[in-house]
Chains A and B, each alone.
Chain A
Amino acid sequence: MSGSENITTLRWVIHCQLPAKNSYAIGMRPVAVAGIGKTPFGAFPDRDLRSLAVEAVERCLTDAGATPAQVEAFYLGNFAGPSFVGQNHLAPYVAAAAGISGVPCTRFEAACASSGSAFFHAVSAVAAGMYDMVIAAGVEKMTSQPTPKVAEILASAGDLGGEIKAGGTFPALFAMIAKRHMHEYGTTREHLAAVAAKNHAAGALNPLAHMRKNITIEQALAGKMIADPLTLYDCSLVSDGAAAVLIVPLEKARDFAGKPIRVLGIAQTSDHVALDRKASITSFAAVARAAEKAYRMAGIQASDVDFAEVHDCFTIAEIIATEDLGFVERGQGGPYAAAGCTALKGPRPVNTSGGLKAKGHPVGATGVAQICDLVIQMRGEAGERQVTRNDIGLAQNLGGSGATAVVTILGKS
């Protein structure tokens, strides 16, 4: 064994022997979210990508009582700006318009987990002591393209040489996941429809949601078939929107206007891009691994999580998320949702924002928007959607059919 291997092994042993409670790696500083900002999500023909992103950043800085000149680095999640609107070099393009200049400005692309990844890396940099003030943001401008073009751009997050070439779309990939989950565990279309109806009910109460209307389970079941067994109501929305958060060391969090919320644990993981290369398609290995790491870092268990924002790009994805996160036994996600356990008034509310299903899914904005939505609940500012138990919130952001996963656990500091 070489010297460097020895050191790596030693570090690993030390990490594994850390006490379970708040086991940040040695030398890492505790980190907090000191400000949040979101645009409404929806179809905004009069708004361009930059104006949406700038609005989110400005709202975030106002919320924190901070100025653009204080920001030391800008991390922007964006999936496909170059394809959707033709613009590249997006991070400095957005940052300069928001008054942030002269500092590192970097774009993160990880399909639907783009801004989850930006957030993970921003938290890592502040925890490591590199910066004291970093903005992690996310933006996508999708509705300026016709639907078939949107589908083609989204499909580029899959394996173009295999599943996409054969005629696969993201609804088709998640439909195949749903079919296998139904086969192995007896999950039903009614379970899927229950997730859609629940998330629409929450979205109807969210002033920033794209679709603010209730639907019934019967409506969801009778929806236009997209890829069997998924109907239109099983699919998330094509939206425009942006979100931003300010990340600071916990020890400095009280200097800001917004009520700080602590990052207790966070992990980003990966897997094969192609669905047919994954060991299982009824569980996302990357999510299960990220959850395990984030729980260990936070020193908590799944049962300690009060509420969550999960990546319901399709209804089946929320069902599998509740299983991969350990909220329920494998295969029980469908009955758990149908019984109302994840509803606003249920014992463990999931997607109190309306989720990607009703809040909307501007792909590159989703990961950071989930963090904003957790913070809104933890500050007690969610209005009619407010949950009663809000000490520990979890966000799960998924890229593609599970090639990237980010799990974040926040706690009241």
Chain B
Amino acid sequence: MRGTIYTETTVYSPPEAFVKDAPYQLAIVEIAGGERLTVRILGEPVAIGDTVEFVERRCDVPFFRKV
């Protein structure tokens, strides 16, 4: 599954459950048909308009990376 970054942020002040992950990038991805999904980004940071692809689900959270 591929999509386009609609918006993104890097979180420096995480909630307690994600302290070990910080800083991490959170994004809203627009996938085929215009549906939007809030996801985490793996690897290289992404910007609005970048194409990303689905990598895996961890604890029911979708992770995407830059294509």
The interface of chain A, by Cβ under 8 A from chain B, is 148-149, 151-152, 155, 162-169, 171-172, 175-177, 179-180, 183, 224-230, 274-277, 281
Chain B contact-residue range equals 20 to 34
6 intermolecular pairs with C-beta atoms under 8 Å apart: A167-B15, A168-B26, A169-B11, A169-B14, A183-B48, A226-B13
Residues from chain A with a CB closer than 8 A to the CB of B37 are 162, 276
Report yes or no: A152 in contact with B15, Cβ–Cβ below 8 A. yes
A165 CA to B8 CA, complexed, in Å: 16
Report yes or no: A167 in contact with B28, Cβ–Cβ below 8 A. no
Report yes or no: B11 in contact with A227, Cβ–Cβ below 8 A. yes
Shortest CB distance B38–A (Å): 4
Shortest CB distance B34–A (Å): 10
Report yes or no: B21 in contact with A167, Cβ–Cβ below 8 A. yes
Residues from chain A with a CB closer than 8 A to the CB of B12 are 224-228
- Minimum CB distance partner of A155 in chain B: B15
Report yes or no: A166 in contact with B6, Cβ–Cβ below 8 A. no
Residues from chain B with a CB closer than 8 A to the CB of A163 are 38
Q: Quick one: CB contact mask for B13-50 with A, threshold 8 Å, 1 for yes?
A: 11111110100101110000000111110000000100
Given A155-B15, A227-B11, are A179 and B40 neighbors across the interface (CB < 8 Å)?
no
Report yes or no: A166 in contact with B39, Cβ–Cβ below 8 A. yes
Residues from chain A with a CB closer than 8 A to the CB of B16 are 148-149, 151-152
- Minimum CB distance partner of B24 in chain A: A167
A165 CA to B36 CA, complexed, in Å: 16
Given contacts A155-B15, A166-B38, A176-B28, 20 further A-B contacts (CB under 8 A): A148-B16, A149-B16, A164-B15, A165-B61, A166-B40, A167-B61, A168-B11, A172-B11, A172-B26, A175-B9, A179-B9, A180-B6, A183-B7, A227-B11, A229-B9, A274-B38, A276-B28, A276-B37, A277-B36, A281-B28
Shortest CB distance B44–A (Å): 16
A226 CA to B14 CA, complexed, in Å: 8
The 10 closest A-B pairs by CB, nearest first: A175-B9, A276-B36, A180-B7, A148-B16, A163-B38, A176-B7, A228-B10, A226-B13, A167-B18, A166-B61
Residues from chain B with a CB closer than 8 A to the CB of A165 are 59-61
Shortest CB distance A229–B (Å): 8
Shortest CB distance B15–A (Å): 5
A168 CA to B17 CA, complexed, in Å: 11
Report yes or no: A179 in contact with B15, Cβ–Cβ below 8 A. no
Shortest CB distance B14–A (Å): 7
Shortest CB distance A160–B (Å): 11
